[in-house]
Amino acid sequence: MRALVKSRPEPGLWMEEVPVPEPGPNEVLIRVGKSAICGTDVHIWNWDAWAAKTVPVPLVTGHEFSGVIADTGSAVSRFKPGQRVSGEGHITCGACRNCRAGRGHLCRNTLGVGVQRAGSFAEYLCLPESNVVPIPDDVPDEIAAIFDPFGNAVHTALSFDCVGEDVLVTGAGPIGIMGALVAQRAGARKVVITDINPTRLDLARKLGVPYAIDTSSEDLREVMARIGMTEGFDIGLEMSGAAPAFRQMIDLMNNGGKIAILGIAPTGFEIDWNKVIFKMLHLKGIYGREMYETWYKMIAFVQSGLDLTPLITHRLPIDEFEAGFAAMRKGEAGKVVLDWL
């Protein structure tokens, strides 16, 4: 089969012929229909320090996908060939304390599909049956292909009760935009998203985020006063991975505010810990999706009318993957979806 392989420890990904993986007894074989490109894939392409220490070479990459069951292992009971599916890309051990307590997202032995084991930038992908999520008929393939990052947004935005709260989302990348939309639908009063990239802010407005603010040219305190916020943000969703954005968030939180942090900073950075203490802020790190409550809620959001279609700015045949990665690297794309069929 054809697959995008990290076959050498240097920048790039290469389309190669590799064997079709064979499902073990508890695994299914999925014929991948659509693959989306994640920021993580760009790190793997670039072969930065994180990628070089995390990713074994050679490896089939990719973890955002949708497809159809092609074959099932001998012990698989829940799936049949032909079924439309997506799947959770964090493979958990099932044996650690958190796994056994039903908190798979806190597994201490998580392996990443397309990061530490063979991924979904391929015609076929093997996944444990327990990681596979059936996709209802009213959810389009391309939306199911971005469920992994949508799940990051849903997990982060639903970390705290949004009803009646004023929410600041820092970073209007695809995940920040989805997080803002989820907070809004979950009952937030004001939802403000920030970025320093005008294209990203335009995309946020196009999807209906009420206040999309360029903090390189606008004063966020003035915006808050203008929209009737007198105290500070109640909830922060950090989706930029940028230190200045996180510091600004801490400055603008109300006392007792709650911050969920998804963005990954490239290097360590300073914050004013005294503000965290004297404002009595709650900080919560977020990794991946809750298994599988986040998946349930994601599907429910789509089925209840949340339309993420405008977030997909590039649809390309798989042979044009280089153009897709180039669009991602420029930082101006929303989601890029590649078609294998």
Closest CB to ligand NAD among 66 and 110?
A: 110
Whether 314 sits among the annotated catalytic residues: the reply is no
Q: How far is the CB of 110 from Zn ion (least distance, A)?
A: 7
Per DSSP, the three-state class of 67 is: strand
Would you call 53 helix, strand, or coil by DSSP?
helix
Mapped onto helix, strand or coil, the DSSP state of residue 64 is strand
Structure token pair of residue 297 = 């809620």
Handedness of CA 247, 212, 297, 61 (dihedral sign): negative
Q: Is 200 annotated as contributing to ligand binding?
A: yes
Give residues 75-114 in contact with Zn ion (rule: CB under 5 A): 92-93, 96, 99, 107, 109
Q: Does 176 bind ligand NAD (CB under 6 A)?
A: yes
Closest distance between Zn ion and the C-beta of residue 129, in Å?
17
- Which region among 18-26, 51-59, 238-246, 306-314 touches ligand NAD (by CB under 6 A)? 238-246
Any known ligand binding at 236? no
Size of the site for ligand NAD (CB under 6 A): 27
What is the per-residue binding string for ligand NAD in 29-68, x denoting contact by CB under 6 A? ----------x-----------------------------
Angle, alpha carbons 209-215-218 (nearest 5°): 95
Binding of ligand NAD by 215 (CB under 6 A): yes
Closest by CA to 7, choosing from 55, 66, 72, 58, is: 58
**Which residues from 137-156 bind ligand NAD, rule CB under 6 A?**
152
Residue 263 engages ligand NAD in binding (rule: CB under 6 A): yes
Q: Catalytic residue among 40, 61, 110, 170, which?
A: 40
Would you say 285 and 261 are in contact if contact means Cβ atoms under 8 Å apart? yes
Tell me if 167 sits within 8 A of 188, measured CB to CB.
yes
Q: What is the CA radius of gyration of the chain?
A: 20
- Shortest distance, position 236 Cβ to ligand NAD, whole Å: 12
CA distances from 140 to 28, 34, 81, 269, 325 (A): 21, 11, 19, 40, 23
- Is there binding between residue 287 and ligand NAD (CB under 6 A)? yes
| Catalytic-residue membership of 199 | no
The 10 Å CB-count burial string (b at 16+, else e) for 257-295 is: bbbbbbbeeeeeeeeeeeebeebebeeeebebbbbbebb
Q: Identify what 107 binds: ligand NAD, Zn ion, none; CB under 5 to 8 Å per kind.
A: Zn ion
Q: Per the annotation, does 162 bind a ligand?
A: no
Name the residue nearer to ligand NAD (CB basis): 39 or 140: 39
Binding stretches for Zn ion (CB under 5 A): 92-93, 96, 99, 107, 109
